Structure 1
Amino acid sequence: MSSDELFSFSERAGLLFTIEGSLLSVLAVTFILGFALVKWLRRTITTWGQETPADASDSSLFLNLMVADLIQAIGCLLNFRWMAKAGVTNGQLCKAQAALKQVGIVGVSMSSLCIALHTFAVLVLRWMPPRHASKMAVIFIWTFAAVVIGIPHAVHKNDEYYGPTTFWCWILPNWRVEQIVTEYLWVWFSALSMLVLYTLMFCVMKGWISIGRGLGDPLVVIDSTEPPSPTSDGAEQAKRTKAIANLMLYFPAVYIVTIVPNSIARWSAFNGNPPPPELSLFANTIFALSGLFNFILFLLTRPRMVVGKPIVLVHDPESQRHSYQTPKRSYSDTSTLGYLPDRRDESQSQLDMHTFSPSVLRSPVLVTLPSSVYSTSSKNPDEREQEQSSCHLRKMSISSGEELQLPNK
């Protein structure tokens, strides 16, 4: 089975744009995956032969999104064959393109949704998911894609299931239900879910909605009062918080922008009105740029998620304890917009949950720890335990710019 007519010059030029968009995505994704690989190898060599925990700044979901973008872009790159031949022909390459595009599209949609859920849990619910949650999410994403795509393909293994669809290969038009259930249902489910989640995150970061104490107090309170007049530092912090909130909106916006043109073209075809070639080729070009858009978006909002400094193993011979250090951060450090903090130990998480409220996080707050907390290595365990238990909060101020002190004994 092949195209009835050869592509015109303008149609081949349109295919060239889809190829160029795919190539840009492949280069961007390959760069960031390569950088992440170098980072992982460097950390592995540094900690070779020693027991190491998982990376605190877990970027598994983001890297999984990049892998899905890469698969999708490679599938679209195969348009080069159809442009060169001025037509689409059935065969193994055609089936490979259809399968790659399906796997990539479902992988991108589910990875984007999982990232939205993780971000919502951290920023809104103030709950850090378990260390291996992202790994389990990655396994779920690809298992889900294999089931959703593999079962219909196995059912129709003796039928013409994949084949030419005008400018590239996909599920043939006579399998309309499969086209929707195996791809577009999940694409739009993810888009609508992301729109809701990121809208809530935007409202929380703007201060329009405040959450009590995260999962311990799920009550949502609409804050209609005017915030207190900020100091100069508070104003700068509020400005940066607003910038983060604005950037958050780009996540669903970019995803929806990449899927809407292609969805319009597909739904038009579903209704028996084939879209004009210009719309189909334009929509596929935007779709092919998904990897590049995600690359740029994460560099703007979370540059340290993948390109941050690697964790360094530190050994204290006196205390016989190991610790993993990343660059120091404070609550008033907003130099990197949208950065999610590293995983901390349980005691620190409890301090954060019960001490800081959203209004405090919007103001620069300095936490000063007593020197004794850092100089207990020379004391025996009983002395350290007694000293730590005697430390208590004597002063707590949430006004902008003031200190929150943990004084000495």
Structure 2
Amino acid sequence: MEPTIYASYEAAGVVVIVVAACLSVLAVTIAFLTGATRTLARKDTHLRPYFISLLLANVIQSVGTIMNARWVRHGYVFGDRFCAVQGALKHAGNIATAVWAFMVAAHLFHLLFLRWKSTKAGLYISLAFGWAMVLFIVLLGPTVITKPKDGPYFGVSGLWCWITPNYPREQFFLEYFLEFVSAGVGFFLYSAILLRVRGNLIKTEGKWHLRWVPRGQSWQLAITRDYIDSAIVRVAAHMVWYPIAYSLLLLPIALARMTELAMNLPPWVTIACDFIFNLNGKTTPHTFALSVLSLSFFPSGLINVILLVTTKRLLPDTNVLPTFSTPRKALDLSSPEAVGITPFTLTSQQTPQMAERRIVPLVRSDSNSSFSSVDSETPLVQSQSTRREYSIRQS
């Protein structure tokens, strides 16, 4: 591949990327040193190992990006062994981030939606499978897919090193497609968890039902929750931001790359890319502008650490909760037991003063010290001393 010579604005943009990647590594390092991930070590869950794997993936991703400093120093990108290593690290970091973002979402879905027990054997299998999948995809290109006529698999790719433009389908299907699937499925899983623990999504008579209630009547959703759902509902509402943040980090740079690859991709991808932005296959100020746009969101490690810090204050103490494998008690809202369930509220025609008039107070008789009741039809007019005596009598 021909070297990519930096223009002045391109070098400045790559510097911003390097700084963002340094912030990610710094944030993850601080999170490990301060023990921020220990808050995820909850009973009956294995969320901490999965999240640590996600942070390690962010570190690999950021290290590959920090290596751009060499190209800034030289003023251009050229193919050598260092370039191939950077391409492999960037590819591995991106794939690992997608895999472990999905794993975190799947684990929470497994616990909070399905209420299945989490085992150590399942944890070890998932960890081994996840990292083996990352290693397999990264090695697949240079060992199986690469062709002598197309040149090296990892090499100069625009402003840095990655999968070379001679392998456009591999760029899309072995990275961007997996990233979009991870973001989309993750958003679906988190949304399903939130709807389930809130009570919007219920299962009655073997069928799933999605129900919505008017604003101000959320008590109708609360009656379908058990103790675990009630403790988790705020956490679930916050966790939906994880796939949203991941999508915001992914979308700009993916769109910039796809517009550059559009001429060599299948027709349906070409049409989608042209609809997004009509560009040629070369690096231009427009594609670079899209890349720079992604830089302000690129430090995924920093974003994940911020979300971790803001999430931990919402996490309940699972030591006082029932085990997550406790099945939900089925509640059929159409059953006779559920019909007529209403909250304790005053009607619009009933004021607190009117409710007080229904109380039949006891007053002291003049003839003796006993208490006698006042006729319920008599208007309720009590002196302060009578109210005090009534309160004492009721106590």
Same fold by TM (over 0.5)? yes
Partner of residue 32, structure 1: 31
- After TM superposition, list the pairs within 5 Å mapping 1:210-359 onto structure 2: 210-211=202-203, 219-224=207-212, 226-228=217-219, 243-272=234-263, 273=280, 274=282, 275-284=286-295, 286-287=297-298, 289-301=299-311, 303=312, 336-339=313-316, 341=318, 349=323, 352-353=326-327
Query: Does structure 2 retain, via aligned residues, the 8 Å contact 1:25–1:70?
Result: yes
Cα distance in 1 for partners of 2:199, 2:117 equals 21
Cα distance in 2 for partners of 1:154, 1:124 equals 40
Give yes or no for the alignment of 1:165 onto 2:157. yes
Change (3 A) 1:168 1:339: farther
Q: Offset of 1:354 from its aligned partner? A: 5.8
Q: Quick check: which has more Rg, 1 or 2? A: 2
Q: Secondary structure at the match of 1:108?
A: helix
Query: Does structure 1 retain, via aligned residues, the 8 Å contact 2:111–2:324?
Result: no
- After TM superposition, list the pairs within 5 Å mapping 1:4-403 onto structure 2: 5=5, 7-36=6-35, 57-58=45-46, 59-155=48-144, 156=146, 159-211=151-203, 219-224=207-212, 226-228=217-219, 243-272=234-263, 273=280, 274=282, 275-284=286-295, 286-287=297-298, 289-301=299-311, 303=312, 336-339=313-316, 341=318, 349=323, 352-353=326-327
Cα distance in 2 for partners of 1:166, 1:131 equals 43
Residues 76-108 of structure 1 show CA distances to partners (whole Å, capped at 9, x for unaligned) of 001111111111121111111110011111111
Change (3 A) 1:22 1:168: same
Change (3 A) 1:33 1:2: farther
Question: Residue type matched to 2:314 in 1?
Answer: L
Query: Does structure 1 retain, via aligned residues, the 8 Å contact 2:54–2:100?
Result: yes
Cα distance in 2 for partners of 1:92, 1:218 equals 58
Identify which range, 174-183 or 253-262, moves more after superposition: 174-183
Query: Does structure 1 retain, via aligned residues, the 8 Å contact 2:111–2:117?
Result: yes
RMSD: 3.7
Unaligned runs of 5+ in 2: 264-279, 334-340, 344-395
Cα distance in 2 for partners of 1:37, 1:299 equals 7
Query: Does structure 1 retain, via aligned residues, the 8 Å contact 2:87–2:162?
Result: yes
Cα distance in 2 for partners of 1:128, 1:223 equals 27
Query: Does structure 1 retain, via aligned residues, the 8 Å contact 2:197–2:230?
Result: no
Unaligned runs of 5+ in 1: 44-53, 304-335, 360-397, 401-409
Q: Offset of 1:349 from its aligned partner? A: 3.7
Q: Secondary structure at the match of 1:271?
A: helix
Cα distance in 1 for partners of 2:99, 2:140 equals 18
Question: Residue type matched to 2:327 in 1?
Answer: M
Q: Offset of 1:38 from its aligned partner? A: 11
Cα distance in 2 for partners of 1:62, 1:354 equals 27
Query: Does structure 2 retain, via aligned residues, the 8 Å contact 1:60–1:135?
Result: no
Partner of residue 330, structure 1: none
Query: Does structure 2 retain, via aligned residues, the 8 Å contact 1:102–1:183?
Result: yes
Q: Report the number of matched residues.
A: 305
Cα distance in 1 for partners of 2:192, 2:287 equals 38
Cα distance in 1 for partners of 2:23, 2:330 equals 43
The TM-score normalised by the length of structure 2 is 0.67
Query: Does structure 2 retain, via aligned residues, the 8 Å contact 1:262–1:280?
Result: yes
Q: Offset of 1:258 from its aligned partner? A: 0.6
Q: Secondary structure at the match of 2:235?
A: helix
Query: Does structure 2 retain, via aligned residues, the 8 Å contact 1:128–1:343?
Result: no
Change (3 A) 1:84 1:33: same
Cα distance in 2 for partners of 1:38, 1:280 equals 31
Question: Residue type matched to 2:157 in 1?
Answer: T
Identify which range, 199-208 or 99-108, moves more after superposition: 199-208
Question: Residue type matched to 1:262 in 2?
Answer: I
Q: Offset of 1:127 from its aligned partner? A: 1.8
Query: Does structure 2 retain, via aligned residues, the 8 Å contact 1:162–1:169?
Result: yes
Identify which range, 8-17 or 125-134, moves more after superposition: 125-134
Question: Residue type matched to 1:291 in 2?
Answer: G
Q: Secondary structure at the match of 2:202?
A: strand
Q: Secondary structure at the match of 1:337?
A: coil
Q: Offset of 1:224 from its aligned partner? A: 4.3
Identity rate, percent: 25
Q: Offset of 1:356 from its aligned partner? A: 9.2
Query: Does structure 1 retain, via aligned residues, the 8 Å contact 2:156–2:162?
Result: yes
Residues 112-171 of structure 1 show CA distances to partners (whole Å, capped at 9, x for unaligned) of 101101111111112232123222211111111111221221122854221112210011
Residues 163-182 of structure 1 show CA distances to partners (whole Å, capped at 9, x for unaligned) of 11221001111111221232
Cα distance in 2 for partners of 1:200, 1:56 equals 21
Question: Residue type matched to 1:116 in 2?
Answer: A
Query: Does structure 2 retain, via aligned residues, the 8 Å contact 1:95–1:170?
Result: yes
Q: Offset of 1:355 from its aligned partner? A: 6.0
Partner of residue 353, structure 2: none
Q: Offset of 1:222 from its aligned partner? A: 2.8
Query: Does structure 1 retain, via aligned residues, the 8 Å contact 2:44–2:323?
Result: no
Query: Does structure 2 retain, via aligned residues, the 8 Å contact 1:240–1:337?
Result: no
The TM-score normalised by the length of structure 1 is 0.65
Cα distance in 1 for partners of 2:35, 2:29 equals 10
